[in-house]
Chains A and B, each alone.
Chain A
Amino acid sequence: MEEQRLIFKHIDAPGYTHDIDCYLKHGGYEQLKKAVTMKPEDICAEVTASGVRGRGGAGFPAGVKWKFLDRKSGKPIYLICNADESEPGTFKDRQIIHKDPHQLIEGMLCSAFAIQAQLAFIYIRGEFFEGYRILEEAIEEARAKNLLGDNILGSGYSCDIIVHRGAGAYICGEETGLIESLEGNRANPRIKPPYFPAALGLYQCPTIVNNVETLCDVKHIIEMGGEAFSKIGTPGNTGTRIWCVSGHVQKPGYYEFPCAALTLGELIHDVCGGLQPGRKLKAVIPGGSSSKILRADERFKGKLKDGTEFDWGIEDIPMDFDSLAAVGSMSGSGGVIIMDDSTDMVEALANINYFYAHESCGQCTPCREGVPWMRKVTARMCAGEAREEDADLLNDIADQIAGRTICAFGEAAAWPVQSFIAKFKDEFVEKAKAQASRRKEGKPAATETTLI
């Protein structure tokens, strides 16, 4: 299957470099030139008409978010690009930052103009040392050509961009944690309401936070018009998505397709070259490590939003927002993690729990205490002390976290546990039984682990 690239059109193209001359040669900044002659509210209307949904995880329509912006407060308005890219399994924003930074800058400036922000930030994860340098350089290149800074292209509109580096904390990806971090504090997320960024964001001013890919989409929406953009994909699932495929496939990588243009099976087999020879598909985590796991031999039945009934095997699931939500998971950040039949599910969950236990900010008791507890249980199970009742215990703890915390990290940490137990409980119980019988035979109960 051929990719249909929009955002990644130039990425990895022979001879394409990340400097401004190359970008301009390929039609760069034409949309910014157009944008600054438009009425800001007309750009917002195009973005709404495009139906573009956020690419950072939650899939919230960008146009609707922009409408929530408090424009009457009299306070400055800020735009923040979320370039924290830290949901395990996600690696698309990195490509844009490294290989086509001006696309992001142009998308940001168009968006900033639309919401009338005069200062924008790129919050980039601290580990992107090179990405940081590339962005800083790109911003100075754009400034030198009056595409950024004071009185952009003589339009009377001014906007600067500050690149702000994070320092290794996953919770900075959560937008209110990000804002706290940008204010110079610990990244403790804020409670919503009242702290919806569009009303009370950075410095208590109205703020729009969007993902890197979402902001790039805005450039293309201006280019082709919201209406034309909305025709890519299916209604409610518009535009393209960059699927980041990792794990047990022959050709892992990033692949861009219109929403719903292919099924999960096509992505695995036709695009990613299938599994290693002799291996069978066991499970897929379709939208970053916090999305709920899908089991390869499940049947997914139900009704879509528009009322059509579906009855799918895992490989029939269309790759788009609504279909993945309909099967009980989500497209999230586009990180598709493939696991074949060599994968030990208890170890895989232990690995995921380790991550979330490490990353809880510690504000809410259920999250601060519960997530490390889940990690301890799965670590103990892998170390030879599994108990048959552990699966229920894990599920119990997870149920007491989800829905009881300040931010959605609680769900992000609970969903893997809940879904692994719902789908693979047999393996958790089996692990305890196998360890007990090895112990009886006088052998060490634990076996060598590979994922933890």
Chain B
Amino acid sequence: MELKPETLEKIDRLVPRYPVKRSAALPLCHLVQEDLGYLSDEAIEWIAERLELEPINIAEIVTFYPMLRREPTGEYHVRVCRTLPCALGGAYQTCRRLEEALNVKVGHTSEDGKVTLEFVECHADCGKAPVVMVGETEYTEVGLEAADSMAEKIKNGTL
């Protein structure tokens, strides 16, 4: 496992800011996941050692927080908000359209590894439903037409 120098630098700056080292556990999980794409056993052990904790202390938070992943996502990570305000705005229809257009079932990664499609809970932008996130970018008011063009751009790699 090799972390980028920028990641290591960020970690070294972050850890001493906390009064108690263990508080840096979640931030470190984020930083390592952003660098490597997911949290492998080795990554969990590395974080534990860096914070003078046991691997189980990290494993138990990795399994608790939905955004922390034990497996990589597809090249595009598409998260469709499905909570009530977005659902009232057509989120389920949007998701079905994305499933068809991208040929992947929600909750899965496409066979070619290109797209992971997931449902997520309220992203706190319910005034512009339906809300879809691709990677770290948020798209709002993603109706059926917008879903089609989003899928098209994902397929030809221009999103």
Residues of A within 8 A of B (CB): 76, 85-91, 93-94, 119, 125-130, 160, 162, 164-170, 181-187, 203, 244-248, 252-254, 285, 289, 335, 337, 339, 343, 348, 351-352, 354-355, 358-359, 449-452
Q: Of the candidates B23, B84, B122, which one forms a contact with A184 in the assembled complex, judged by CB atoms under 8 Å apart?
A: B23
In the complex, B25 has a CB within 8 A of chain A: yes
* Interface size grouping (class) on chain B: 35 or more
Chain B residues positioned under 8 Å from A352 (CB to CB): 84
Q: How far, in Å, is B138 (CB) from chain A's closest CB?
A: 8
What are 14 A-B pairs with beta-carbon distances under 8 A? A88-B121, A88-B126, A89-B122, A126-B30, A165-B26, A167-B30, A169-B64, A181-B26, A186-B60, A248-B88, A289-B83, A337-B85, A358-B121, A450-B92
Residue of A nearest to B53 (CB): A184
Chain A residues positioned under 8 Å from B89 (CB to CB): 246-247
Decide if A88 touches B18 in the complex (CB within 8 Å). no
Chain B residues positioned under 8 Å from A129 (CB to CB): 136
Q: Of the candidates A91, A128, A285, A355, which one forms a contact with B127 in the assembled complex, judged by CB atoms under 8 Å apart?
A: A91
Q: How far, in Å, is A354 (CB) from chain B's closest CB?
A: 8
Decide if A203 touches B65 in the complex (CB within 8 Å). no
Q: How long is the Cα–Cα vector from A87 to B120 in the complex, in angstroms?
A: 13
Decide if A167 touches B26 in the complex (CB within 8 Å). yes
Decide if B87 touches A252 in the complex (CB within 8 Å). no
Q: Of the candidates A125, A127, A203, which one forms a contact with B19 in the assembled complex, judged by CB atoms under 8 Å apart?
A: A203
Decide if B125 touches A451 in the complex (CB within 8 Å). no
Chain A residues positioned under 8 Å from B24 (CB to CB): 184
Q: Of the candidates A165, A337, A339, which one forms a contact with B30 in the assembled complex, judged by CB atoms under 8 Å apart?
A: A165
Closest 10 CB pairs of A and B: A167-B65, A184-B25, A246-B85, A184-B22, A168-B66, A168-B67, A246-B126, A88-B122, A167-B67, A129-B136
Given contacts A167-B26, A167-B66, contact A335 B87 (CB under 8 A): no
- Residues of B80-118 contacting chain A, CB below 8 A: 82-85, 87-90, 92-93
Q: How long is the Cα–Cα vector from A183 to B61 in the complex, in angstroms?
A: 11
In the complex, B17 has a CB within 8 A of chain A: yes
Decide if B85 touches A86 in the complex (CB within 8 Å). no
Q: Mark B51-74, 1 if CB is under 8 A from A, else 0.
A: 101000100110011111000000
Q: Mark B7-27, 1 if CB is under 8 A from A, else 0.
A: 000000000011110111111
Decide if B92 touches A90 in the complex (CB within 8 Å). no
Q: How long is the Cα–Cα vector from A166 to B65 in the complex, in angstroms?
A: 8
Decide if A247 touches B88 in the complex (CB within 8 Å). yes
Q: How far, in Å, is B6 (CB) from chain A's closest CB?
A: 15
Decide if A339 touches B121 in the complex (CB within 8 Å). no
Q: How long is the Cα–Cα vector from A14 to B111 in the complex, in angstroms?
A: 46
Residue of B nearest to A205 (CB): B19
In the complex, B123 has a CB within 8 A of chain A: yes
Q: Mark B121-154, 1 if CB is under 8 A from A, else 0.
A: 1111111110001001010000000000000000
Chain A residues positioned under 8 Å from B43 (CB to CB): none
Q: How long is the Cα–Cα vector from A168 to B17 in the complex, in angstroms?
A: 23
Q: How far, in Å, is A280 (CB) from chain B's closest CB?
A: 15
In the complex, B32 has a CB within 8 A of chain A: no
In the complex, B29 has a CB within 8 A of chain A: yes
Chain B residues positioned under 8 Å from A254 (CB to CB): 127
